Structure 1
Amino acid sequence: MGKVVLARVDSRLIHGQVATNVSKSAGANALFVADDLSANDEFTKNIIMGAGSRTGYKIRVLKEDGAIRYWEDRQYDDFNVMLITKSIEIMHKIIKGGVPVENLNLGGLPQVPGATPIISEVAINKAQLDLLVDLQNTYPNMNIYFQATPSLKKVMLADAIKLFS
């Protein structure tokens, strides 16, 4: 049976930091991207597969519902998976769909109008905060934190909530 060793929200999906520092620190041997747009676009899918192939890890580009079905059907085989989505909304859907996650890392969401910076690499809005709080309330043992790379300081969800008060 496989395991999600780290779930990460990063708008860039697979890039240098994810492919090297973050995935190794998490103990991953597979990178699964769950993103409908990427899975349905052969060009984008090939770019992701190419970027990931240099890691030596198993790479899969799945539709969002496919990430849930793969867990239901095969529990991600024997892989230690780093599951990556572009948005909190997609990650919320996958976790609520039954994919078990112990560690949720928010590592790359750019500043956009209406978003509050949590760390320099991550900004979220109130609706996204509410989704994270929903996950924390539903799965109280889930470790939800903001951190771009393992060498940088972690900001826990409880501290991020204070920025919206």
Structure 2
Amino acid sequence: MGKVVLARVDARLIHGQVMTSLSKSAGANAIFVADNASAHDPFTKNIILGAGSRTGMKVRVLKEDGAVRYWNDRQYDDYNVILLTKTIETMADIIRGGVPIKELNLGGIPQKPGLTPIIKEVSISKEQLEILQDLSENYGVNVYFQAIPSSKKVTLKEAIKEFD
């Protein structure tokens, strides 16, 4: 049976930081990208598969509901998976769909008007904060904000203070 060793929300999906530092620190042997747009666009899918293949890890580009189906059907086989989504909402759907995730890393959500910066690389809305609180309280997910393993980790509890 496989497991998710790191769940990460990052609008960039696969990029150098994920490939090098995160995959090593997490002990992963597979990267699963759960993103409908990428799964339906052959060009984007090929870029992701190409970037991932250079790591020697198994890379899959799944539809968002496909990430849940693959867990329910095969428990991610024997893979130690880094699960990547572009949005908090998608990751929440996957967790609520039954994929067991112990830790959720928010590592790359760009600043936009109406969002509150938590760390330099991550800004969220009040609604997204409420989703993260639900995942923490009702699903036992340890939520934290951290761009790369060597940078400071900000807990959900600390992030909540940004909204007071």
TM (normalized to structure 2)?
A: 0.99
Query: What SS class does the counterpart of residue 78 from structure 2 fall into?
Result: coil
Q: CA deviation at 1:143?
A: 1.4
Which residue number corresponds to residue 147 of structure 1?
146
2: CA distance, partners of 1:51 / 1:128: 29
Give the counterpart letter for 2:94 in structure 1.
I
- Structure 1: which 5+ runs fail to align? none
1: CA distance, partners of 2:24 / 2:124: 26
Which residue number corresponds to residue 157 of structure 2?
158
Q: CA deviation at 1:27?
A: 0.8
Q: Deviations over 1:95-147 (max 9, x none)?
A: 0000000110000000001000000000001111111011011123x211000
Which residue number corresponds to residue 133 of structure 1?
133
Give the counterpart letter for 2:125 in structure 1.
N
State percent identity of aligned pairs.
71
Give the counterpart letter for 2:46 in structure 1.
N
Query: What SS class does the counterpart of residue 92 from structure 2 fall into?
Result: helix
Matched length: 164
1: CA distance, partners of 2:155 / 2:56: 31
Give the counterpart letter for 2:87 in structure 1.
S
2: CA distance, partners of 1:25 / 1:42: 30
1: CA distance, partners of 2:8 / 2:57: 16
Query: What SS class does the counterpart of residue 163 from structure 1 fall into?
Result: helix
Give the counterpart letter for 2:146 in structure 1.
Q
2: CA distance, partners of 1:67 / 1:98: 10
Q: Deviations over 1:2-51 (max 9, x none)?
A: 00000000000000000110111111100000000000000000000011
2: CA distance, partners of 1:125 / 1:53: 34
- Structure 2: which 5+ runs fail to align? none
Instruction: State the 4+ residue runs in structure 1 displaced beyond 2 angstroms.
Output: none
Query: What SS class does the counterpart of residue 163 from structure 2 fall into?
Result: coil
Which residue number corresponds to residue 95 of structure 1?
95
Which residue number corresponds to residue 67 of structure 1?
67
Which residue number corresponds to residue 56 of structure 1?
56
Which residue number corresponds to residue 77 of structure 2?
77
Give the counterpart letter for 1:145 in structure 2.
Y
Superposed counterparts of 1:28-67, under 5 Å: 28-67=28-67
